[in-house]
């Protein structure tokens, strides 16, 4: 799977997670929290990604996942 394919699949997961983040306009390189995503949204998205991509995010790595690009890079490295 290419990075772009993964990114699109993860954007779909973010949309489906029902977060408060405006998925169509947010900056992928900036903190999702700073753009309106709360901790519940983040947890919901994280669980959706783990399930959809069949990847487990280690507890010690969760705090490193600040931006959408961080999530994409992490999943790409661990699938």
pLDDT at 8: 94
3-state SS string for the chain: CCHHHHHHHHHHHHHHCCCCCCCCCCCCCCECCCCCCCHHHHHHHHHHHHHHHCCCCCHHHHCCCCEHHHHHHHHHHHC
Overall number of domains in the chain = 1
pLDDT digits (tens, 9 = 90+) for 24-72: 899 999 999 999 899 899 999 999 999 999 999 999 999 999 999 999 9
pLDDT at 1: 86
Q: Is the pLDDT of residue 77 over 90?
A: yes
Range of the domain at 48: 3-78
pLDDT at 21: 83
pLDDT at 20: 79
**CATH number, residue 57:** 1.10.1200.10
Alpha-carbon distance of 73 to 6, in angstroms, equals 10
């Amino acid at each position: 799977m290419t990075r772009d394919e993964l990114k699109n699949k993860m954007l779909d997961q973010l949309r489906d997670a029902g977060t408060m983040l405006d998925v169509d306009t947010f900056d992928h390189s900036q903190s999702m929290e700073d753009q309106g995503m709360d901790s519940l949204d983040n947890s919901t998205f994280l669980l959706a990604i783990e399930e959809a991509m069949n990847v487990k995010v280690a507890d010690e790595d969760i705090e490193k996942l600040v931006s959408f690009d961080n999530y994409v890079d992490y999943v790409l490295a661990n699938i």
